[in-house]
Amino acid sequence: MKLSVILSTVPTKHPLRVIRTMSDDVLDQMSADLKTVMKNGGFPSTSPPKIYLRAMLIGAIYSIKTERQLLDHINFNLLFRWFVGLPVESDIWTEEDFADRRAALIESGVADLFFSRTLSQPRISRILGSEHFLLDEDTISACLSGFIPLNGNTEGFAALLGQAS
């Protein structure tokens, strides 16, 4: 089953369609950053950084508490697979692989940049505050606390949420 077939089952007005489109626009703008982190972060060509960033985003949107739970959701939920961009016939990553790639994205600052640019868009903020998700900035902040840069720089996503020190 191709991802396009899965997409055809997602209602046209489903909020994840909008979030996916807008986050893909951000990823397109970050292509140079993604190429650099792919080269330096040990990403296989079959699993580029954008797939991991989308996985981190959907995990935050749905307040998934652990990497294991997130990987299970992506493995078994076709909507999550479509959102992430992981083909149905592809195996899900191991927890260790996911943790390593996630760490590379955090350490490079790419995760912070992606979340800052994606979640600062007014349309996405409205969607995340709608009855479909019932999320507020505190919930998102709690889910993404690990996405704040490890280098101590509190600009970007932390500042967006009013957490800058």
Q: What CA–CA distance (Å, rounded) separates 52 from 29?
A: 17
Q: What CA–CA distance (Å, rounded) separates 110 from 49?
A: 9
109-155 pLDDT, tens digit each: 898 899 889 888 888 777 876 666 655 565 555 555 554 333 344 44
Q: What is the pLDDT of residue 112?
A: 86
DSSP 147: G
Stretch (H or E) spanning 70: helix 67-76
Range of the domain at 66: 3-160
Token pair of 114 as six digits: 């992606």
- Do the domain assignments include residue 145? yes
- Do the domain assignments include residue 11? yes
Token pair of 77 as six digits: 């939920």
- Do the domain assignments include residue 165? no
Domains: count for the chain = 1
Q: What is the pLDDT of residue 23?
A: 94
Evaluate whether 82 touches 10 at the Cβ level (below 8 Å).
yes
Three-state SS for 5? helix
- Do the domain assignments include residue 47? yes
Q: What CA–CA distance (Å, rounded) separates 112 from 90?
A: 27
Q: What is the pLDDT of residue 158?
A: 43
Q: What is the pLDDT of residue 62?
A: 85
- Do the domain assignments include residue 131? yes
Q: What CA–CA distance (Å, rounded) separates 10 from 98?
A: 26
Mean pLDDT by 10 residues, the chain (165 residues): 70 86 95 90 82 92 85 93 91 90 88 87 77 59 47 42 42
- Do the domain assignments include residue 148? yes
- Do the domain assignments include residue 103? yes
Give pairs for 91-100: CB < 8 Å, separation 24+. 93/47, 95/67, 95/68, 95/71, 98/52, 98/55, 98/67, 98/70, 98/71, 99/67, 100/42
Nearest by Cα to 34 from 21, 23, 18: 23
- Do the domain assignments include residue 132? yes
